[in-house]
Structure 1
Amino acid sequence: MGMWQPCYRQALNLTKTGILRRTARARLLPLISVQIEHENEPHRRLHCLHTMGSINCKEYKTTGNVTPQKEQSTGGAVGSYQSKCNSSSASSSGNKDSMPVEQEAVEYTDPVAVCNVSDLKENEMKQVDFDEDTRVLLVKQKGRLQAVGAKCTHFGAPLHTGALSQGRVRCPWHGACFSLETGDIEDFPGLDSLPCYNVEVSSEGQVLLRAKRSDLATSKRVKNMVARKPEDQRCFIVVGGGPSGAVCAETLRQEGYTGRLILVSRENYLPYDRIKISKSMNLDIEQLRFRDEAFYQQHDIEVWLGVGASQLDTAQKELHCSNGYVVKYDKIYIATGCSSFRPPIPGVSLNNVKTIRELDDTKSIVAAVGEASRVVCLGASFIALEAAAALVSKVASVTVVGRDTVPLKAAFGEQIGRRVAKLFEDNKVHMRMESGISEVIGDDSGNVAEVQLADGTRLPCDLLILGTGSTLNTQFLAKSGVRINRNGSVDVTDFLESNVPDVYVGGDIANAHIHGLAHERVNIGHYQLAQYHGRIAAINMCGSVKKLEAVPFFFTMIFGKGIRYAGHGSYKDVIIDGSLEDFKFVAYFVNEADTVTAVASVGRDPIVAQFAELISQGKCLGRGHIENVEDRQAWTTKLLEPLPLVR
């Protein structure tokens, strides 16, 4: 193997998977060409096309030369793509796709009658059966019929129970939005779009649907992506393999970017749904990841796993990576997220003191506990509460230690926090509120054995989970010229661009405007917002102009109770509609100006989705709409009114 011998293990690791993974020899040559023994093809010669080992390794005839460590990239043209689904006027048959007739019979099914046109009123949604296994959402607006998939692509919520506004529908559970014209996802969570159906109306008034045969196998659709063009010499880099970076990488290809595309991820896993890990700790990466390796390979997205960013040189437009590589970029999106914060408590570095942020964290927790384990969770945040709920049935005891009088007080107020505390106590979780941990006490093996509370009480403890906040991962930007706030966040424009041209920032680290009455610039660590940032950044990186317009939408599931929350802002009063005891209520958070800044609910879908849709339209919900009125939900009928709702 001659001069290539030192690179053998790195190349073998790469070519087996198609994804670059961190190895012990990660600082080796940036562009390698090696001959390896293949199981079925001895002496097959592989040439890795891109620095760090592109996901696209293909057979090559001759051994290439090593290129310099720094790489050049120049500009090129950008195209665009937008898909549309067919719709029909309620009074006449709709147009078919403009494809050749000979292709039409192959790709589309025969027409299927699903209902009569008189079955739908204006601005009504109806779920209809296309066949035994396929449900379709049929909507009538402005006299037109439109048909898309009936289930949200995130968790499968029935969209006909969601929030309908002009031209789009919002998921009742988690707030994802889909265009009725194209089926494309417009707000998150999720990645995939809805399939679209051809709609026709017969002379007898029957509504006829025709489906693409390829869409019948699934209720999801991946938006069309452009192919990489060798003549496009640009290089776009996405730093961060979380939800924001994953969406950005895909959207760049969907929006017409044909240059080189690199996704740099500090973790050793392909992008995955990290919000699930604190709710269910027995999931593996195959159950969590958004896409498999074949997806990234198909769309020419290089994925560098186990690689972090160490420095950004904006003058030279270079990204310095944690393994010593330096890459030229034309535009870059930074979504490096957070790391868990460990408070300066004596003994906090002992074994079995854990945080929850990444998949490996939960793997470590699962390995550390058994039926006899006594677990303490420090912090009454969402992540600590979710961990407590996930573990209580698997261990001997779980205790939550929190500083406030009730859990989640800052987010939901005293009343809801008190009911949440009772829910945990009813499920055998011990709640030690208005307290803290002053010391973590270990045994002779260096493992945690006890925790001492602020009042001197000692609790036996085999595992301590820290849910004590996070720090933003922006240290590598210190000398970049990108302005960093005291909390580590980065101010961005409405288009997610930083103060430095061609440097875009999103997700947890972005101090960005949110859509609402005050149009405040805030730093929010919401999963849905992070994915939305990825989409908006990609659109703007491709040369289009798209402003931030999302309304923050949060959700969690604790002991079978789904909590939804939409909006943002300080509040003075919390108006409860419904029963806290029965966990079936809506909470309206009202500020000093008698404006509703946020809405939370349990067991009252789709009201939070309706509020999010209302605010996204620039409308205002006031105290007068929900207090001392006969129908507190009358405002939900105003989503399709053209004039702002103000009182």
Structure 2
Amino acid sequence: MGGCSSKDGTVSQGDVRVTTGGGGAGGAGGAGGANGTGAGPKATPKPAKPLEVESVVCKVDDMKDGEMREVDVGKGKALLVKELGEFSAIGHKCTHYGAPLVKGALCNGRVRCPWHGACFSTKTGDIEDFPGLDSVPKFEVRIEGDKVIVGGNSKDFASHKRVKTMCIGSPDDDKTALIIGGGAASVTCAESLRQEGFKGQVIIATKEKHLPYDRPKLSKAMDSKPESLALRNADFFTIYDINVMTEKEATSIDTVLNSVSFLDGENVSFDYLVIATGGKPRSLNVPGNDLDGVCLLRSPEDGNSIAEKGQGKNVVIVGTSFIGMEVAAYLSDKSASITVIGRGSAPYKASLGEKVGMALQKLAESKGVRFVMDNGVSEFKGEDGKLKKVILKNGQTIAAEVCVLGVGVTPATDFLSDSGLKMTDHGAVCVDKYMKTNKSNIYAAGDIASFPLAMADNREVNIGHWQIAHGHGRVAALNILGQKVEMETVPFFWTQIFGKSVRYAGFNEGFEDVIVTGDLNELKFVAYYIKDETVVAMASMNSDPIVSQFAELLASGRELSKSEIQSDPSQWSSKL
């Protein structure tokens, strides 16, 4: 097995060789180097066609096994990796938000992004876990004497993103894959079908007016316009023959006739159906919840409206989990006042625990955010239809022109009530490890899916993470094509407030203890969530790439015990 590392290193540009010839193997080449048997490095033949750019980036013995370096190649950069004596080189930035992969976790032939957990093969550059849609470029590596040379074509260095090869539809294939919903699961499913050679019709039907967009940004950058949030532009879907139907709300499914009815009266037949309609935000069933100024956040228009209405106004936010806290952070320097109402004793208590929650509450308070905890809303009061006051359950009155509700979501599955699909009591669609429902040609993915989580002994769970939705979409696509691929991933999510990011990996529902190392007051810490004497999840701030390392540990099937953390928390990563 290969080693794992998070070592950071850079190499200044070495000898650069620029040719005027075309062609070049670009992203298709393999790694040079030793064969891992102790025989020493082997000379690697030059490519059949000259590469446009080549650089000597280091000597063979400059790097240890399990080490990564960001190296200069001409005017571009690459991530150079050494594992089992072999060198390989791929793009140096994560394709999700551009994190430097050199600061990530390297383990057994893949590197995991330090920010949000996406994984890329060090041999091919292909994306292997999410979030994100694109792979990274793959560069040529060869050994001449004791020199390591990296090369490629200029276009491969011009962007850190690479779209995997995709087919288009064919009139000879009469199959239709219909995907309902416009989020990460839908786009990943559609693209995976084309990547794996599906030439039938691929249709994405979303009730929104926009092309699928990056939903996690809604609460972090609330003034963002839909076009800036789009996961792909219209031309992309046209090129790869993916039909995106907007303002197309599903109202029912006929699982006998294999058709979906939509609000506009149209029926669309399918051979394969993927349901990925996501969640809908909960409201509060209290008087005055329909006043102008009481807001839910679901769409770019919602975010833009809240950002505009909140300018210079008194804002109340109900809910102290991820949406509520991110909205509070965004509006903190724009509104006259921000008051956050929470029903527990600390923000994030259920997800991150009280210790971490209190530290993040102190951060928000230092930015002027006020908290009223162990409380709730009993009534909204207004004048002329506009919100003026929020009345709490303890009788306290808070002046407010805007109130944002961040009190959770429910699966958007009301239209499935007569479908015959197996569902949970709270409306999630039950699927197996292949994302298949009780109907053999119907799949569910994303926030609406209740699926067996491998790392939790296949316990049925419903997890609303962006990364999970991507994974669901791809697994559904692969199984539509008969590949029998199981859903195996480590849940990974993040939140960002006041320029500080929390990373999280694992599944900590029902955790019994939290061990925190580092300094909560300085917001540089690692929190280990314990259940049955085992670390089931980890969260961190300003401690990258430890959460990515932990995710790789879990992904490899290994465990971390409470006793290991108690004895020496700095040593567990040596397990990798």
* Class of the TM-score when normalised by the shorter of the 2 chains: over 0.9
Could you tell me which residue of structure 2 aligns to residue 436 of structure 1? 376
Paired residue for 1:514? 453
Give the counterpart letter for 1:195 in structure 2.
P
Match of 2:59 among 86, 106, 116: 116
> Deviation at 1:438?
0.5
The one-letter code sitting in structure 1 at the alignment partner of 2:366 is D
* Alignment correspondent of 2:33: 89
**Contact 1:237 / 1:329 at 8 angstroms: preserved in 2?**
yes
Q: Which of 181, 189, 192 is the equivalent residue of 2:131?
A: 189
Q: Whole-Å Cα distance in 2 between the matches of residues 515 and 84 of structure 1?
A: 33
Superposition deviation, residue 92 in structure 1: 2.1
| Counterpart residue number, 1:346 | 287
CA–CA distance in structure 2, aligned partners of residues 497 and 292 of structure 1 = 29
1:49-448 matches, cutoff 5 A = 85-90=29-34, 91-94=41-44, 104-105=49-50, 108-132=51-75, 134-202=76-144, 204-371=145-312, 373-443=313-383, 445-448=384-387
Within the candidate set 393, 413, 426, 1:474 is matched to 413
Question: Superposition RMSD on alpha carbons, in Å?
Answer: 1.4
Q: Give per-residue Cα distances to partners, 1:565-619, cap 9 Å, x unaligned.
A: 110032111101100000000000111x200010010110000011111001110
Alpha-carbon deviations, 1:464-485, whole Å to 9, x = none? 1001111211111122221111
Q: CA deviation at 1:84?
A: 5.3
Aligned residues: 543
2:573 corresponding residue in structure 1: 636
* TM-score of the two chains, using structure 1 as the length reference: 0.82
- The structure with the largest strand share of the pair is 2
3-state SS, counterpart of residue 158 of structure 2: coil
Residue identity (%)? 42
**How far 1:131 sits from its partner (Å)?**
2.4
Once the 2 structures are TM-superposed, how far is the Cα of residue 352 of structure 1 from its aligned partner?
A: 1.1
Q: Looking at CA atoms only, which structure, 1 or 2, has the larger radius of gyration? A: 1
Aligned to 1:594: 533
2:174–2:201: 8 Å Cα contact kept in structure 1?
Answer: yes
Supply the distance in 1 between the matched residues of 2:104 and 2:53 (Cα, whole angstroms): 29
Instruction: State the distance in 2 between where 1:131 and 1:151 align.
Output: 17
3-state SS of paired residue (2:168): coil
Q: Distance in 1 between matches of 2:44 and 2:449?
A: 44
Q: Which runs of 4+ in 1 moved over 6 A?
A: none
- 1:499 aligned partner: 438
Residues of 1 paired with 2:52 and 2:486: CA distance? 39
1:165 and 1:613 in contact (8 A); partners too: yes
Which amino acid letter does the alignment assign opposite residue 413 of structure 1?
G
Of 553-562 and 208-217, more deviation after overlay is shown by: 208-217
CA deviation map 1:344-369 (0-9, x unaligned): 11100111110112212112212323
**1:235 deviation in Å?**
0.6
Match in the other structure for 1:645: none
Query: C-alpha distance in 1, partners of 2:255/2:547?
Result: 42
Residue 246 of structure 1 and its aligned partner are, at CA, apart by 1.2
Q: Contact 1:96–1:198 at 8 Å: present in 2 too?
A: no
Query: 2: distance between equivalents of 1:157 and 1:633?
Result: 24
CA positional deviation for 1:94: 3.8
**Alpha-carbon distance, 1:213 to partner:** 2.9
Deviations 1:210-265 (A, max 9, x none): 21332122111011101221111111111111111111111111111111110111
Partner secondary structure for residue 516 of structure 1: helix
Shift of 1:95: 5.8
2:29 and 2:141 in contact (8 A); partners too: no
Q: Give SS of 1:586's match.
A: strand
Secondary structure class of the residue paired with 2:32: strand
- Unpaired runs of at least 5, structure 1: 1-82, 640-647
Which SS does the other structure have where 2:98 is aligned? Answer: coil
CA contact 1:86–1:94 (8 Å) conserved in 2:
no
Q: d(CA) in 2 for partners of 1:345 and 1:517?
A: 37
Q: Give deviations 1:383-421, integer Å, cap 9, x for gaps.
A: 011001101111100100111011111112221111111
CA offsets 1:144-201 (integer angstroms, 9 cap, x no match): 2111011111111111111111111101111000011211111111111010001111
CA distance in 1, matches of 2:494, 2:377: 28
